[in-house]
Amino acid sequence: MPAFILAIAELFGTALWFTPNAVLHDLQVLWSLQTADLGWLTGAVQGGFLLGTLAIGLSGLADRIDASRLFAACCLVGALSNALLPWAGSLWPAVALRVMTGMSLAGIYPVGMKLMVGWTPGRTGLGLALLVGMLVLGTALPHGLRALSELQGTGMAWRNGILGASGLALLAGILVWRLGEAPDIRTAKSHAPATTASRLIGIQAFHIKDFRRAASAYFGHMWELYTLWALLPLMLLASMPKLSTTTLALGAFALIAIGGPACWLGGWLSQSLGSRRIAQLGLAGSATCCALYPLLAWLPTPLLIAFLALWSALAVVDSPQFSALSAAACPTTIVGSALTLQNAIGFAVSMLSLLVLIPLWQWLGAWLAWIILPGPLFGLWCLATHRPLATTSPADTGR
Residues 310-319 pLDDT 10s: 999 999 999 9
Query: How long a stretch of residues is the chain?
Result: 399
- pLDDT tens digit string along 166-209? 898 999 999 999 998 887 666 655 544 444 445 566 788 899 99
Cα distance between residue 78 and residue 212, in whole Å: 31
> Which pLDDT score is estimated for 332?
82
Give the end-to-end CA distance of the chain in Å, rounded to a whole number: 27
Task: Please say if the pLDDT value at position 349 is more than 60.
Answer: yes
| pLDDT band per the 50, 70, 90 thresholds, residue 272 | very high
Q: How many helices (H) and strands (E) does the chain have?
A: 21, 0
Residue 240, C-beta contacts closer than 8 angstroms, at least 6 positions apart: 301
- pLDDT tens digit string along 198-255? 556 678 889 999 999 999 999 999 999 989 988 998 899 898 988 887 788 788 888 9
Instruction: Decide which of 385 and 130 is more confident.
Output: 130
Lowest-confidence range among 158-172, 275-289, 301-315? Answer: 158-172
Lowest-confidence range among 35-49, 274-288, 342-356? Answer: 35-49
- pLDDT tens digit string along 64-98? 888 899 999 999 999 999 999 989 988 899 999 99
| pLDDT band per the 50, 70, 90 thresholds, residue 145 | low
- pLDDT tens digit string along 95-135? 999 999 999 999 999 899 889 988 888 788 888 999 998 88
> Which pLDDT score is estimated for 195?
46
Taking CA atoms, 38 is separated from 47, 90, 358, in Å, by 15, 12, 16
Cα distance between residue 5 and residue 179, in whole Å: 8
> Which pLDDT score is estimated for 36?
61
The structural domains of the chain, with segments of one domain joined by +, span: 2-189+199-397
Question: Could you count the other beta carbons within 10 Å of the beta carbon of residue 178?
Answer: 10
> Which pLDDT score is estimated for 141?
63
Would you say 382 and 282 are in contact if contact means Cβ atoms under 8 Å apart?
Answer: no
- CATH 3.40.50.300, applies to 2-189+199-397: no
Taking CA atoms, 31 is separated from 96, 157, 169, 232, 278, in Å, by 15, 17, 26, 29, 47
Question: Could you count the other beta carbons within 10 Å of the beta carbon of residue 241?
Answer: 7
Task: Please say if the pLDDT value at position 393 is more than 50.
Answer: no
> Which pLDDT score is estimated for 44?
84
Cα distance between residue 110 and residue 94, in whole Å: 24
> Which pLDDT score is estimated for 215?
96
> Which pLDDT score is estimated for 334?
85
> Which pLDDT score is estimated for 82?
92
Would you say 397 and 325 are in contact if contact means Cβ atoms under 8 Å apart?
Answer: yes
| pLDDT band per the 50, 70, 90 thresholds, residue 15 | confident
Cα distance between residue 273 and residue 275, in whole Å: 7
Cα distance between residue 58 and residue 60, in whole Å: 6
Task: Please say if the pLDDT value at position 345 is more than 70.
Answer: yes
> Which pLDDT score is estimated for 183?
77
> Which pLDDT score is estimated for 397?
43
CA atoms 111, 116, 119, 123: torsion sign: negative
Instruction: Decide which of 361 and 158 is more confident.
Output: 361
Would you say 354 and 158 are in contact if contact means Cβ atoms under 8 Å apart?
Answer: no
Would you say 351 and 230 are in contact if contact means Cβ atoms under 8 Å apart?
Answer: no
What is the residue-wise DSSP string for 196-253?
GGSTTGGGGGGGSHHHHHHHHHHHHHHHHHHHHHHHHHHHHHHH-TT--HHHHHHHHH
Burial class (CB in 10 A: 0-12, 13-18, 19+), 32: exposed
User: Average per-residue pLDDT in the chain?
Assistant: 84
Task: Please say if the pLDDT value at position 267 is more than 90.
Answer: yes
Rg (CA), the chain: 20
